[in-house]
Structure formats: C-alpha cells, structure tokens
Amino acid sequence: MSVGFVIRLVVLALLVAFLVMPEAFAFVFQPLARPNQPVIYNQGNLLDLTLNHLAIVAAAMVVATLVAVGLAILVTRPFGAEFLPLSRSLANIGQTFPPVAVLALAVPILGFGTAPTLVALFLYGLLPIFENTLTGLTTLPPAVTEAARGMGMTGRQRLMRVELPLALPVILAGIRLSTVIALATATIGSTVAARTLGEVIIAGLLSNNTAFVAQGGLIVGVLAVLIYDGLSAVEQMLMRRTGQAGRRG
C-alpha cells in the first residue's frame, strides 16, 4: 500500500467526518469567522448538499458520456463520417457559451432548480468526452483491427470487443476531465436555486463570512482531487489490462 494511497484514505475519512460532524471541526474555521458570526454553515445540512451536488454532477456526466460516445462512434463509422463537422460543432456548444449564459437561457424554459444546472453541466461536459473518444477510436493499432477483420468479426463485434475496450482508457480520461470541471461548475447552480455546495459559498459571500466560503470551497476542492485521482487509477488499471501502459507511459 503506497503512501499516496494512505494519504488519500485519510483525506477521505476527514472529509466524511467533517460532513457528518461539522461542529467537531469548528476550531479549524474559527479564525476565519468574525465575532458573533456562526463558524459552521448553519443554513442547511452539509452532507445533504454534498450528496445532492454529487448526484447532479453524476447525472449530467452519465448523459454527456452517452451522447458524446455515441456521436464519436457514429462519425468513426463509414456511414457517419460526413457528420463529423456537425458533431464537433454540437460538442463545442458548451464551450462556446459559458455556463452562466446557459443557465440564463435555460431558466425561462425549465424554471428554477436543478434542471437548468443539469443542462449547463451536460453541454459543458460534451467536448472533452467526444474528442477523447474520437481520438481513442481513430488511433487504434491497425494490426489489431486488421486481425479482428481477419477473424471474421462483424463491424459491431469489432466495435464492442476490440475498439471500445482498447479506447476505454482514453475515453475515461475525457470523462475524468469533464467530471472535475463539472464538480466546480455545479456550484453556480445555486444561483438558480439548485441545491449544491454553491449555497454555502454564496451564503458566505452575502454575509461576509469567510468561514462559510472556505467550507464550501474546501469540500468541492477535496472532492475534485479525490475523484480525479480515483478515475486516474482506474484509467491506469485499464491501460495495464489492455497492454497500453508501456506504449503510452
């Protein structure tokens, strides 16, 4: 067991302990609060907000992954190659419009709450996943794909048994990037009444309570690092299983 792994476990344990018993950590944030100000966020449950924040991000990333991977598969097939420029333009929509602008456009249609935030995160997460999937599917070793054809595999069999498994580490790298971006971006969802950790940060800014701001930012930051490291570990494991670690490392 590596030192880095142990450190991550300790950080995760501390995060869980803080979310379950935040008052036990009041001494850490006390210097950041002004006299007579509450030290620990008291306008909601930190654990509930964190779980809701993660659920929104997870839902958006699942849909973004399905759409982005589907588009990449389509344009790498002979019958769909002509749709590559259109698919790339669609994937770029989220990067063209900042999330705040997407929220502003979505609220009149979807109303306040979680829905506009999901739309913003979905659009913002498309491009990294699409481009990585495209790269993974178009840079496969020719010898491998030719061997699959020589074995008599159909196009669907080659996709499911050869192409996607080999491209999976690269696809996962795109998902990792989109997820980390979404974790931070989801905080702005609280401006349209979505229940995210942005509530904590906004409450701190409105009341000039730096302790609240630090708590919201710290939870989001720790989650981003832990999820990034976790997905990186899975990516490395997949690369070893498919024999790509040496070639790409």
What is the DSSP annotation of 120-162?
A: HHHHHHHHHHHHHHHHHHHSS-HHHHHHHHHTT--HHHHIIII
Torsion of CA 147, 151, 155, 161, to 10 degrees: -80
* 101 lies in some domain: yes
Q: Average pLDDT, stretch 62-76?
A: 95
Cα distance between residue 42 and residue 23, in whole Å: 10
* 29 lies in some domain: no
Note down the domain range covering 206: 46-244
The two tokens of residue 33 are: 């609060």
* 23 lies in some domain: no
* 20 lies in some domain: no
As a whole-number percent, the residues of the chain with pLDDT over 90 amount to 65
pLDDT score, position 152: 80
- Residues in Cβ contact with 70 at an 8 Å cutoff, skipping those fewer than 6 apart: none
How many domains does the chain fold into?
Answer: 1
Cα distance between residue 186 and residue 195, in whole Å: 10
Instruction: Supply the pTM of this predicted model.
Output: 0.91
* 40 lies in some domain: no
pLDDT score, position 40: 96
At residue 244 the predicted structure's pLDDT band, cuts being 50, 70 and 90, is: low
* 171 lies in some domain: yes
- Residues in Cβ contact with 153 at an 8 Å cutoff, skipping those fewer than 6 apart: 161, 162
pLDDT score, position 95: 79
* 32 lies in some domain: no
Q: Which residue type sits at 169?
A: P
Q: Is the pLDDT of residue 231 over 80?
A: yes
Residue with the larger pLDDT of the pair 98 and 19: 19
Output the domain CATH number for residue 152: 1.10.3720.10
* 124 lies in some domain: yes
- Residues in Cβ contact with 112 at an 8 Å cutoff, skipping those fewer than 6 apart: 192, 193
Q: Among residues 168, 172, 188, 176, which one has the least CA distance to residue 56?
A: 188
Cα distance between residue 156 and residue 136, in whole Å: 17
